Every structure is written in C-alpha cells, then in structure tokens.
Amino acid sequence: MNAVPMSASLREVDTLPRPRGALPIIGHMLQLSPPTRHHLVLERWAAELGTPYVFRLGRTPITVWADTELAHTVMRERPHRYRRFERIESILDEVGSNGLFSVEGRAWESQRRLVMQALSINHIKAFYPTLAGITERLRSRWASAARAGRVVNMIDELRLFTVDVTSALVFGEDPNTLEKERDLIQEHVSLLMPMLMFRLNAPFAYWHYVRFPRDRRFDHAIAEVHRYVRGLMARARERLRAEAARVGKSAAQDGEAEPPRNLIEAMLIQRDAPGSGITDDEVAANILTMLVAGEDTTAMAIAWGLLYLGSDQALQTRVAAHARGVLGDASVCPSYAAMRELDLCEAVCTEASRLHAVAPYLSFEPLEEVRLNGVRLPAGTKMFFLNRPGMIDARHFADPSRYDPDRWLHDNRETKGTHDGRAYMQFGAGPRVCPGRHLAVVEMRLVMSMLAANFESTLMIDPADVHEVCTFATGPNAIPMRLKLRDVGRVTH
C-alpha cells in the first residue's frame, strides 16, 4: 500500500502543493473551465506541481495522483477499501441510473455477475453474426456516402453503431439507428453524459433548487430514455413468458428451458425469483448504465484511431492490406475466429487512446483512513488518478510521444524497447475492471478492418485542429472524413 512506518513524518492533505488562484466558495472551479477541457488543466498542474497535489472544487479538496503502481494498488482493494466518489453514485441514483458503474458494496457484487454473463467471451462469440450484420449496415451507409461524395461525421456515425451493438447484445433488440434519418433515443442518450459531467463538477447541487433550460432538456431526455427502457423490460418479460409456456412448467423446473439470451432476461429472471430483493428500478438502472456506457467510450476509442488512419497514407495502406488478408473477399470480417487475427486494427485504436486517453482519470475515495506515499488520507478524501502521464512516461513506453501501433503487436514488443502494458489504464484494473472491454476490442477490430478494407479515407481537417473534448469519455471535437470506395483487387495482400 506504499505505506510509511508509524514513526515517519506524515503529510496532511492541506499541506500538499496546490495551484494558485483559488477563490472563496468556488475554489479552483473557474480555472477548470470549460468543463470539456478540465482534464488538460489537471494534467498541466501535475506537470507544474508534481503529484500528489490538491485542488478545491468548491469547498471540497481533491487530491491528484499520477502513480501507475499506486493506482493498481488502490484498484486491487476495491470495493472493500475504496469506492468511486460518493457524489457519482448519488447523482446517478437521482436520475435512476445507479447501475454497475457506480453502485457499491454487496449490490455491486450481485450486479457484476449478471453483467459479466451478458458480456462474456462465449456470449459475444455467439452474438458475432449479429455484430457483423450491424457492421455491414455501417459499411453500406458509408458506401452510399462515398458514392455521393459526402463528407462523413465519423463521431456521429460511430455513436449510432455502438448504440445498435449495445442494444442488440444487452437488450435483445436492435434499434437500427444506422438506417434511420433521425433516432430520438440516440439523441436523448447523447445528452446524458455531458449533463452528468456538468453536475459532477458543480460546486453544489443547484438543480435541487432551480431548473435552468439545460436541466429541463436533461429531465425530458431522462424521462424518454426511462420510458424506452421500461418498454424493453416489458417486451423481455413477454418473451420469457412465451418461452416458459412453450417449454412447459415442469420442463422449466427440470432445467430444460433455454438460458437467458441477454442482460435484460438474466436480470429479470433473477429479479422475479422469490425473495430476490431486486427491484425493477435496479434492473432499469443497469439497463440505462449499459446503454449510456456502451455508446461513448468505444466510439471515442475508434474515432481517435481514425485520426491517425486518415492522416497517414502509409499506415492506411498497411492496415488495408492486413484487413483484406483476413477478410478475403468479404466486406466484413466473416467469423469470430478470423476477427481474432486483426491485431493491427486493434493496435491502431489502442495506441491512439494511449496518447489521447478516453478515460483521462479515475476517481476514488477511501472507506477508511489510509496512508499513501507518506500522505494521510482520512476516509472520504477525494482522489483523482490521472491516466495519461503514466501512458506517456518513458519508464513505461519507449519513445512515448511517438504514435506507433506496432508497440502493441506481440511479435514486435521485444524489439520496441520498454513496454509496460499495465500502464495502459483505459479499462481500469482490479476487481472492477471494465466488464465490456472484450466487446470494445471486437468492435474496434470490426470497424477498423471494414473501413480500411473497403474504403480509402481522408481526414478533412488539419490534425492540429483536432482537440480533446471530455464529457465523461474524452473524444475528438471532430473527425470529418471523405470516403472513396476502394478497388479491392488492388489491395496488396
């Protein structure tokens, strides 16, 4: 735990270095504006002050750390010694979204088992044909844009794709947002993350007393998404009833009924079991969590990969040859087994999100007094662990400022010098490592291989004008691309 002997001198939180310019009541809040860029300010302060340091959000002191090993230590001791910020759980609970991401204690343990079942490798392998079908839908959409000469807003496209994937896998229904001109649920979902981030950074819960227009828009979006989720639950229950009737009560009791096919069914079966103690509200909260969490993070990881693919012709040619070698004559990777060969496609996205952290920091607080690196942290002390400093540290990665996807290919790691994969913290670590990491990797491989094999892509913006925007997940402000149908016969195998 990097503790110090009891006899050693301990530092207190209020003696740590701090940025200048704190104001009464609001602390350093003005210096963290705009909220979409606040992670860059935290990183700049870390470079200037070293870590740990402390800043104030309102009257609340927040300690900031950039020690990879210490982060692993803390994450190994979740959820019993550390938790996420209590405020995260309370704010998500207010809007009916206190699911696996934010819930703590015993509730987390039971919900974790359900979500891991839905996102297991075996489940995703069985789901692969549907996933490939959604990817083909995206290819068809991009082919139409290429024939029309339209510039494509890749961030919006990727969000539609990930909403369809998450809905089909976790909820058992495909909303097909990719083939609709306007999808209201996706529009409502897109409002949630920015507003939740805004409320988390507010100096006090002003919305308890007054609702501004943005709050009313948020309220409406939450209400519509909850209505959508309750509809999903009702339809899933009807499917379960129909299945029970088909199999017959006695056969179901003998274990002959089919296992749950998605997260909703698994949760409803457990919720409806006698004495489960699970409520419909808890089921709905996890459905909403998966819908929101499944959209932005994976979409942004792929978008950062496209920044480099669309601005480096040599890399694009290489990825196209690699993808076509796996896909053969298919427009989309034809099987789960073949998908596992698309290492370079994953590496393009992984390396991009090493330099542009999709999760810029992790937030924790101890449940009891702890002593870390000679600092005494009372229970409830707020802690930010910055991810990017460790990912661009020469102690962890050779030539760390250079974009080099080869560093993630197993055959090249020994010749690439220092490579400490544990410093790549985008999926977290420890017992609460992201349960959706395997699904995210499959999506990266499918989309990147489909794009490179079928299209020539050109970034229609100066890469220097692409900057980071943080709304829970951190993505690029824009990735406009012009696509051209590739002459498949000319792709070098």
Binding site members for heme:
434
Q: Are 438 and 117 in contact (CB under 8 A)?
A: no
Tokens encoding 461? 């913006």
Give me the sheet containing 53-57, strands edge to edge. 53-57, 60-65, 382-386, 361-366, 82-83
Q: Is 452 helix (H, G, I), strand (E, B) or coil?
A: helix
| Residue 52, preceding peptide bond in cis (omega within 30° of 0) | yes
> Both tokens of residue 256?
């002959």
The two counts, helices (H) then strands (E), for the chain are 16, 13
Give the Cβ contact number of residue 469 at 10 Å. Answer: 19
What DSSP state is assigned to residue 414?
G
Q: Any idea of the CA torsion for 166, 168, 172, 175, to the nearest 10 degrees?
A: 110
- How far apart CA 50 and CA 32 sit, in angstroms, is 18
For residue 148, the one-letter residue type is A
Alpha-carbon span 353 to 350, nearest angstrom: 5
Burial per residue of 140-169, b for 16 or more beta-carbon CB atoms within 10 angstroms, e otherwise: ebbeebbeeeeebebbebbbbbbbbbbbbb
Instruction: Tell me the residue type at 462.
Output: D
DSSP characters for 69-124?
HHHHHHHHTTTTTEES-HHHHHHHHHTT--STTT--THHHHHHHHHHHHHTSHHHH
CA distance 336 to 132: 9
Q: How far apart are CA 235 and CA 229, in angstroms?
A: 10
Cβ partners under 8 Å of residue 186, min gap 6: 159, 160, 163, 175, 177, 295
Asked if 456 and 141 touch (Cβ cutoff 8 Å), the reply is no
Amino acid in position 436: G
Q: What angle do CA 455, 458, 463 make, to 5 degrees?
A: 145
Binding residue numbers: 434
- What is the distance between the alpha carbons of residues 120 and 310, in angstroms, rounded to a whole number? 32
Q: Assess contact for 153 and 141: CB atoms under 8 A.
A: no
